Amino acid sequence: MKALDRFSLAGKVVVLTGGAGLYGRGLAADLAEAGATLVLASRDVAALRKVADEEGRRGFQVEAERLDQGDEGSVLALRDRILERHGRVDGLVNNAVLRTMKGVDDPLERWEESMRVNSTGLFAISRTFGEVMQARRAGSIVNIGSIQGMVGANLFLYEGTNIGTVPDYFFHKGGMLNLTRYLAALWGPSGVRVNCVAPGGFYNNHDPVFVQRYSQMTMLGRMAENSDLGGAVIFLLSDASSYITGANLPVDGGYTAK
């Protein structure tokens, strides 16, 4: 196989949780362009169908499926539908996240709901599709983490702005990173690779003060854009990364390297 061909996702069935949000829309476009048969899954099927239709008009095969990640029955039903239709799953990208908390003083129920979906649900879907990949002795799981799972909060960035930080996100993104390592060790002998990418701040019409401060904290002098994440994810799903597992790849413009 030629070097560039190893980066192709042609012939691979890939599940992407989310697919219409800040990270997900760009990932959906990039994974489809890389040749994957792409299955988008989230609770908002209408939004996913819009993405699937847009990508279909570009000539790519993208499907929309309902998933409540916090409900194991929903995860198992998604698996069964995909296997019935395609007979295999080659890749899983854990991108979906439920934002329940607004601040540290929120009712405890919001923390519990976040953990139900973002921690317990993450484990449920990883285990479910990891078992499918184990049976075939091949597959790749890519977790979309965050630099906030690697470092503490820099509260200076938020001073005087309308933006804040929430504790649950730091908790479950930190847990995602070590779950990545655990599952990589557990499933490596079965040919299943598990890796994580850790995006830095993605520009989303932030307060200009925050943008300026954050950009100065990176080595590239800017926040991330919608097209900055897909290359890393494609690489980790593809045969080009066949000897990489248990890794965490920061996609942060050098923020965590300082």
* pLDDT, position 56: 95
Residue position matching structure tokens 């995860």 = 75
Tokens of 56: 């279909």
Q: Distance between CA 194 and CA 17 in Å, rounded? A: 16
Best CA proximity match to 17, nearest among 76, 88, 65, 72: 65
CATH of the domain spanning 4-246: 3.40.50.720
Rg (CA), the chain: 18
Whether the per-residue pLDDT at 258 is higher than 90: the answer is: no
Best CA proximity match to 197, nearest among 155, 122, 247: 247
Confidence of residue 1 (pLDDT cuts 50, 70, 90): confident
| Interval 220-244: pLDDT, tens | 999 999 889 999 999 999 999 999 9
Q: Domain map of the chain by residue range?
A: 4-246
Q: Distance between CA 113 and CA 251 in Å, rounded? A: 28
Q: 95-120: b or e for each residue (b if 16 or more CB lie within 10 Å)?
A: bbbbebbeeeeeeeebbebbbebbbe
| Interval 27-83: pLDDT, tens | 999 999 999 999 999 999 999 999 999 999 999 999 999 999 999 999 999 999 999
CA angle 44, 46, 50 (to 5 degrees): 120
- Which residues have C-beta within 8 Å of that of residue 94, sequence separation ≥ 6? 17, 122, 125, 126, 141, 142, 143, 144, 176
Count Cα neighbours of 137 within 13 Å in the Cβ-side half-sphere.
Answer: 2
Residues annotated catalytic, as ranges: 169
Tokens of 167: 């504790």
Tokens of 92: 């899983």
| Interval 170-210: pLDDT, tens | 999 999 999 999 999 999 999 999 999 999 999 988 999 99
Averaged over 124-152, what is the pLDDT? 97
Residue position matching structure tokens 């049976």 = 135
| Interval 139-168: pLDDT, tens | 999 999 999 999 999 999 999 998 889 999
Q: Distance between CA 64 and CA 45 in Å, rounded? A: 6
